[in-house]
Amino acid sequence: MARLAGAGARRRAAVLLCAALWVLQAVRYRDLQATLARLGADHLLLALLCCAANYLALSCYDQLAFLYIGKRIARARIALTAFIAYAVSNSVGFALLYRWFNLGMAPLSGLRASKASPLWSRLAGFVYRHGESFYKFQGLRAYKEKFHPVWEPRYIAYAGGKFLPALLADVAALSARGYARIFL
């Protein structure tokens, strides 16, 4: 019976390893290396210390759980098992987060004002540059820039003329979850 349990555990471990490797294949080494280089040594060291503290706290949690249920297992074995389990789960989670993390949009940023720009585009650019007391457009953009995002433009197509203010109000209401919450 113990051999069957051991074989099942080995199969589950192999499946988990394959799943982790499949997810990690999406991470490009150059992207990861560039991201780590942008972090700086002090931030990377702090992250490693926090990670070590996290593993210590989580393995203590597992030890408390075994004490609670009355099982006596060597602390070193619990700590090693917890470390491996959390390392695999955090690595798979990191790969998913790294690949699909979305900061959302930075409204009105990136508009270029020129004499050929339509009136609404120039007005939107003016609001972006001078409307900090209303929405903190530039502050939001500056905050998101810290993460070195890849900005992808988003466009709204409309019929022109007087329909744009109503369209912008609808978009604001959509993101605020209702018209009443736009200015709250």
Q: Let me know: does 125 contact 111? Beta carbons within 8 Å.
A: yes
Total number of domains constituting the chain: 2
- In a domain, residue 155? The reply is yes
Q: Identify the pLDDT of residue 183.
A: 66
Shared domain for 22 and 59, answered yes or no, is: yes
CA–CA separation, 94 vs 20, rounded Å? 10
Shared domain for 135 and 57, answered yes or no, is: no
Q: Identify the pLDDT of residue 2.
A: 47
> Which residue range(s) make up the domain with 169?
119-181
Shared domain for 6 and 92, answered yes or no, is: yes
- In a domain, residue 112? The reply is no
Shared domain for 133 and 95, answered yes or no, is: no
pLDDT (tens digit per residue) in 6-64: 667 778 778 877 777 776 676 677 777 787 788 788 888 888 898 888 888 878 888 88
Shared domain for 128 and 175, answered yes or no, is: yes
CA–CA separation, 177 vs 86, rounded Å? 37
CA–CA separation, 149 vs 103, rounded Å? 8
The tokens of 177 are what? 């979850």
1: confidence class by pLDDT, cuts 50, 70, 90: very low
Question: What 3-state class would DSSP assign to 159?
Answer: coil
Query: Of the residues 72, 100, 128, which one is the last residue of a structural domain?
Result: 100
164: confidence class by pLDDT, cuts 50, 70, 90: confident
Shared domain for 79 and 169, answered yes or no, is: no
Shared domain for 91 and 164, answered yes or no, is: no
Please name which of 47, 55, 49, 60 lies closest in space to residue 85, comparing C-alpha atoms.
Answer: 55
Question: What 3-state class would DSSP assign to 147?
Answer: coil
Shared domain for 67 and 139, answered yes or no, is: no
CA–CA separation, 81 vs 88, rounded Å? 11
Shared domain for 88 and 135, answered yes or no, is: no
pLDDT (tens digit per residue) in 53-90: 888 887 888 888 888 888 888 888 888 887 777 777 76
- In a domain, residue 132? The reply is yes
CA–CA separation, 75 vs 184, rounded Å? 53
- In a domain, residue 111? The reply is no
96: confidence class by pLDDT, cuts 50, 70, 90: low
Q: Which is more confident, 60 or 96? A: 60
- In a domain, residue 21? The reply is yes
Q: Kindly compute the dihedral angle of the four CA atoms of residues 141, 147, 149, 154, in this order, to the nearest 10 degrees.
A: -30
Shared domain for 41 and 126, answered yes or no, is: no
Q: Identify the pLDDT of residue 95.
A: 53
Q: Identify the pLDDT of residue 4.
A: 46
Q: Which residues contact 181 (CB under 8 A, 6 or more apart)?
A: 173
Shared domain for 22 and 96, answered yes or no, is: yes
Q: Which residues contact 81 (CB under 8 A, 6 or more apart)?
A: 62
The tokens of 118 are what? 């339509």
Q: Let me know: does 176 contact 182? Beta carbons within 8 Å.
A: yes
Shared domain for 154 and 123, answered yes or no, is: yes
Q: Let me know: does 23 contact 96? Beta carbons within 8 Å.
A: yes
- In a domain, residue 158? The reply is yes
